[in-house]
Every structure is written in structure tokens, then in C-alpha cells.
Amino acid sequence: MAHITVEEVEHVAQLARLRFSKDELEEFTNQLDAILRFVGKLESLDTEGVEPTYRAIEIVNCFREDVVKPSLPIEEVTANAPESEEGAFVVPRII
Amino acid sequence: MEFEAVIGLEVHVQLKTESKIFCSCSTQFGAPPNTHTCPVCLGMPGVLPVLNKKAVEYAMKMALATNCNINQTNVFARKHYFYPDLPKGYQISQYELPLAEDGWIEVETEAGKRRIRINRIHMEDDAGKLIHDELRPVSYVDLNRTGTPLIEIVSEPDIRTPEEAASYLKKIRQLVRYLKISDGNMEEGSLRCDANISLRPRGRKELGTKAELKNMNSFRHVQKALEYEIRRQSALLLDGTKIIQETRLYDASKGVTHSMRGKEEAHDYRYFPDPDLVPIKIDDTWLEQVRKSLPELPDAKMGRFMEEYGLPEYDAKVLTNSIELADYFEQAVRLYPKAKKVSNWIMVELLKLTKKDDHDLSKCNVTPQVLAELLSLIDKGTISNKIAKKVLEEVFEKGGSPSQIVEREGLAQVSDQSELSAIVEQVVQDNPKEVEKYRAGKKKVMGFFVGQVMRKTKGKANPQMVNELLRKLLDEN
Ligand SMILES: [Zn+2]
């Protein structure tokens, strides 16, 4: 049966660059645990010999030809950016 | 204790398609920031990637050229990590079912030819570029490069020395250039290399703890970084200190590697199959079609040059270094069939004039036609070897045709018997002392006489005839 620990939630939060308070961590752990338990019900089914389904459709080889089409106008590209300069997005420095 | 290095390389190659791997934006380098972006490569929610068929075929070409098995079914997976140059929050790569596996290439080493095995080749999308501000604590994000198709070629840990690593990389570069699937330029980032390296006592089977080296932007850097790392790790091991498994960055200015220390924490990429991209199925027809489109590869070409043109191994190797040089040679030989002579003139004279390491003669004034014409002029006795070298340099610098230059500048060899006789007689007459010396047995003075005749004819006298005429005249009495 699925069961998630506070440590695991903390780890996932860290990977997602999110920081939570102790209370929040506890709350999310409970919520995630409930979700996992619910989904975990699927494990009661016998899936012996059944291939996993990764996609809703059963097609293969969906290609496009190597042809350039116009990109988005730069005003639209940066429209949602909190800060941009000469077309570049400006973000807090990460090194 | 003597240590042996165990090295594996991960090489990223940017594919030279016109458009990106999952959208129709241009891959062209040097555009203003973010002008080659769209909702797909910007990672906006709800968009769907569609795979560029040419990128797959380019990757297949490399897989075939490196003797890999191509997986009939291969799929894309998401590799998750957060960084400002990766707008989707994941890279689309291949994990469980890569395009190709289990290949090898042969590389030149000090100990002869060695086979380096290739673990896998997979396709993925490139990230964007970050430029850090010098003054403010901000970075500028340019996503033009985001979505450029890449292949990653992962070697087995079969490489034993830094020289072998450089040799392996050069072979990879040669192959991608032969296949015309990438520029293969390390300085510009179209070929990138990370290295895994560990040491073990010579003769031991078990692997030691490895370090991953990054930030090497040239063949020299790769070699230097590995050399440094061997020194660092052996010092630690001899000291009884444990090696820490970590990523280290090469600092080219100091020639050392630094630990990245915790910068990227655990590799926890949470791979899972990308539900937005359907599997690639490669049937025999498609595979054969791509196989047939492969050019003759370097090793095969080199063998053929030795066989067909009777060239020594060294010549064949130099001439097949790039496909352009090999084509150049073959075009010249078609017009002037003395292969060894063509080879000598290309290797000794022409490559001396071109930039070092840049064997691309496609824009060179000395076309195969020019070279063939020049060599025919020597054969016909119109010009000497020495003059021919001058003419070659002139065409190389300014263009034009050899016969025209010879005519315009009056460079044709003087082979006229009576004209030469008169000059030779004059020289003998003007130098009685030297004549005496010669006749007294100092045969070396001959060089002086030849030199005098050459001076008077500005180097254009037929040397063979000058020698004969002089000997005749001096030995007469
Ligand atoms: Zn795009």
C-alpha cells in the first residue's frame, strides 16, 4: 500500500525548488498520502501479462518534415515575462 | 603502485537540421535573443511536440556509422530538472529504449588501432543559453537554442589514456562531418564532451570511484583535464584518501578541475515515458534506405585510396581526413592520373598554404583543375618544379590560371639550346678563375656556374640542359 513520508515530500519539494513551512509539509504529506492510497487501489487488480499503457492512442511514427516556419513575434514571446531586456528573459542569477 | 585510468566519454552532437527537433523554429545560430522561439520550444502549457523526421535519420546515420544496433522501437522520455535554460522543466530524451545500442569505432592509439565500444546513442533536445550579468545578480535567458536536435553518444569505459580520449573524439568528429549531420565544432559547442574517469591499480578488474568532468571546450581541454585528473586521483589514492564521486569543472586558465560541490545534488531525474510523443518504429525498408544514403566512410575510403591509387598509408590517411579533401584529390586525379604526384602536391604544397587543421579546399582558388593544369605544365617541361610552386602560391593568393600566369609573367622555362648555350658560354668566359679551379679537380664549382646561369635567366633555365651544356664546355679542354 502506498505511503508517503514527510522526508519524501521534502525531497520532491526540493527538486521542484519549492520551500514549505513545517505545517505546510505536514498538510501536503497527508493530502498526497490520501491521493496515493486512492490510486493504490489499482494495485488490487491482477495486471499479470498486461503491457503498461503510456499513451491514449496506438499510433507510431508521427513526424514533420524539416521545414522552418515563422516563430512567434518577440513581443508575444516576452509578453508574460515579469522582466525582459532586448528580447532576453531576465531571471535571478543562478550559478 | 601503478594506476590505470578507466575513461568513458559522453559526447553531445548538435544535428545540422534546418528546424528544431519538436517544432518548426529555425536552428540558425546568431539570431537576436528569443526570435527563434514558439509556444512549443518556450515550454508553454498545452502544446504538443512533433518530431522532425530528418533529425531521426541523421541520428540513424551516426548509429550505422558506429556499428550500433538500431532499436526497431524506440521511445522518448522526460528527464526532469529545474534550470532557467530549460523552460519545460524537463528535457525530452531517450532512456529505456534509446535509438541505438552496442556499437564500436576503431581509433588510432600509440599502441596501434583499438576498438572503443559504444554503449548507446540517443536523441534529445538542447537547452537554451544563459548569460550572466557582470554587475546585477541576474541572468539573461535566450531560448533560441532550446529544441535544437542533439544526439548523445555514450562510450563504454574502454578508453585508457587522455590521448586515446582525444583520438576517439576526433574520430567522432570525422564521422559526423563525413555524414554531414553536424559541424562537429567543439569551440562553438556543436560537439560537446563530458568525461567519466576513475583509476585502479594496473591489472585489477574492479572499477574505482569515478569523477565526472565537464566544461571542456576543445580537444586540448579534454586531454589536459584528464591528465590533471589522473595526477589528482593518483595522489589521493597513494595517500590513502578516498575518491569522492562528484562532478568537476575544468578550469582552462589554470589547467585544473574543481569540484562542483552539491550544485546539482542527487541525480534524481524522475524519468518517465513522454506521453506526448508516439514511439518511433524503424522497419527494414526505412533502415535500408538510410543505410544506402551513407557515404563511403573514412576507414573504407582510406583502404580504397591505398588499393586503387597505390598510395602509401600515410598519404591515404591525410587525404581521407575530411571528405572534402578526399573528393578534391579524386577530382584532381581524374584530370591528372599520376596519383602519388597529386598527393605530394596536395599534402606538401597546398595544405601548407591553407590554414592549419582546416582542410576545406572548397573555397580555395587552387581548384582540382588548376592543380592538374599546373602538374601537366611541369610534365611538358614548360615550367620547373620550383617555378610551379611559385605559380601555385600566386593562384592560391590571387586566383587565375597557371598557363596564363606563366605566360603573363614570362615564367616559361628556357629550353632553347642556342639561347642557353650563349648564356653558358658567357658565364664561363666571365669567370676564368672558377674555370681553373674546376679543371684542377674542384668539381664542386659546378654549383657556382649553375647558379650564375640561373641568375641570368631569373631561375627559368632548364636545369638539366644547363648542367649538360656546362659539363660539355668545361670538360672540353
Ligand atoms: Zn519553436
Indicate the residue among B286, B309, B342 that finishes a domain: B286
For residues B385 and B194, the model is more confident at B194
B358 confidence band (pLDDT: 50, 70, 90): low
Q: Would the pLDDT of B164 be above 80?
A: yes
- Please state, as a whole number, how many other Cβ atoms lie within 10 Å of the Cβ of residue A15: 16
Q: Please count the CA atoms within 13 angstroms of the CA of B231 that sit on its side-chain side.
A: 9
A80 confidence band (pLDDT: 50, 70, 90): very high
Helix (H) or strand (E) holding B454: helix B445-456
Once rounded to an integer, what is the mean pLDDT over residues B195-212? 93
Give the C-alpha separation, B376 to B231, whole Å. 56
pLDDT tens digits for B9-51?
A: 999 999 999 999 999 999 999 999 999 999 999 999 999 999 9
Helix (H) or strand (E) holding B51: strand B51-52
pLDDT tens digits for B272-325?
A: 999 999 999 999 999 999 999 999 999 999 999 999 999 999 999 999 999 999
**B162 plus B208 within the same structural domain:** yes
Give the C-alpha separation, B153 to B58, whole Å. 13
Assigned domain for B343 exists: yes
**B106 plus B28 within the same structural domain:** yes
CA angle B220, B221, B222 (to 5 degrees): 90
Residue B266 is predicted with a pLDDT of 56
Residue A1 is predicted with a pLDDT of 47
Assigned domain for B291 exists: no
Interchain pair B140, A16: CB under 8 A = no
Once rounded to an integer, what is the mean pLDDT over residues B339-360? 83
B17 Cα to chain A: minimum distance (Å): 7
Residue B477 is predicted with a pLDDT of 57
Q: Which of B80, B141, B280 sits opposite A60 (nearest CB)?
A: B280
**B280 plus B300 within the same structural domain:** no
Produce one character per residue of B257-283: b if its CB has 16 or more CB atoms within 10 Å, e if not.
Answer: beeeeeeeeeeebeeebbeebbbbebe
Q: What is the mean pLDDT of chain B?
A: 92
**B172 plus B313 within the same structural domain:** no
Lowest mean pLDDT among B69-78, B80-89, B335-344, B420-429: B420-429
Give the C-alpha separation, B178 to B295, whole Å. 7
Number of domains in chain B: 3
Give one DSSP letter per residue of B343-373, joined into a string.
HHIIIIIIHHHSPTT----TT-SS-HHHHHH
Assigned domain for B353 exists: yes
Q: Which of B51, B84, B140 sits opposite A62 (nearest CB)?
A: B51
Residue ranges covered by each domain of chain A: 6-43
**B267 plus B388 within the same structural domain:** no
Assigned domain for B326 exists: yes
Indicate the residue among B286, B315, B346 that finishes a domain: B286
CATH code assigned at B463: 1.10.10.410
B33 Rama class: left (phi>0) / alpha (psi -120 to 50) / beta: beta
Give the C-alpha separation, A65 to B79, whole Å. 25
Lowest mean pLDDT among A80-94, B254-268, B442-456: B254-268
Assigned domain for B268 exists: yes
Q: Would the pLDDT of B356 be above 60?
A: no
Q: Which residues in A lie closer than 8 A to residue B140 (C-beta atoms)?
A: 85, 88-90
Once rounded to an integer, what is the mean pLDDT over residues A22-39? 94
What residues make up the domain containing B325?
296-408
B357 confidence band (pLDDT: 50, 70, 90): low
Interchain pair A88, B17: CB under 8 A = no
**B433 plus B399 within the same structural domain:** no
Residue B353 is predicted with a pLDDT of 84
Assigned domain for B310 exists: yes
Q: Report whether B144 contacts B53 (CB < 8 A).
A: no
Once rounded to an integer, what is the mean pLDDT over residues B157-182? 96
Phi/psi at B399 (5° precision):
80, -175
Give the C-alpha separation, B176 to B336, whole Å. 30
Residue B471 is predicted with a pLDDT of 86
A10 Cα to chain B: minimum distance (Å): 14
Interchain pair A62, B17: CB under 8 A = no
Residue A43 is predicted with a pLDDT of 87
**B188 plus B320 within the same structural domain:** no
For residues B142 and B424, the model is more confident at B142
**B18 plus B164 within the same structural domain:** yes
**B59 plus B188 within the same structural domain:** yes
**B331 plus B350 within the same structural domain:** yes
Q: Which residue of A has its CA nearest to B286?
A: A61
Q: Which of B83, B139, B279 sits opposite A93 (nearest CB)?
A: B139
Say what the ipTM of the complex is: 0.87
Q: Which residues in A lie closer than 8 A to residue B133 (C-beta atoms)?
A: 93
Per-window interface: B 113-152 vs A, CB < 8 A = 130-133, 136-143
**B115 plus B235 within the same structural domain:** yes
Interchain pair A77, B268: CB under 8 A = no
Once rounded to an integer, what is the mean pLDDT over residues B127-149? 95
Q: Would the pLDDT of B327 be above 60?
A: yes
Interchain pair B24, A93: CB under 8 A = no
Specify the pTM.
0.87
Indicate the residue among B228, B251, B286 that finishes a domain: B286
Task: Look up the CATH number of domain A6-43.
Answer: 1.10.20.60
Residue B115 is predicted with a pLDDT of 96
Assigned domain for B140 exists: yes
Once rounded to an integer, what is the mean pLDDT over residues A2-18? 86
B26/A contact by beta carbon, under 8 A: yes
pLDDT tens digits for B361-378?
A: 777 889 999 999 999 988
A65/B contact by beta carbon, under 8 A: yes
pLDDT above 90 covers a percentage of chain B that reads: 67
A6 Cα to chain B: minimum distance (Å): 18
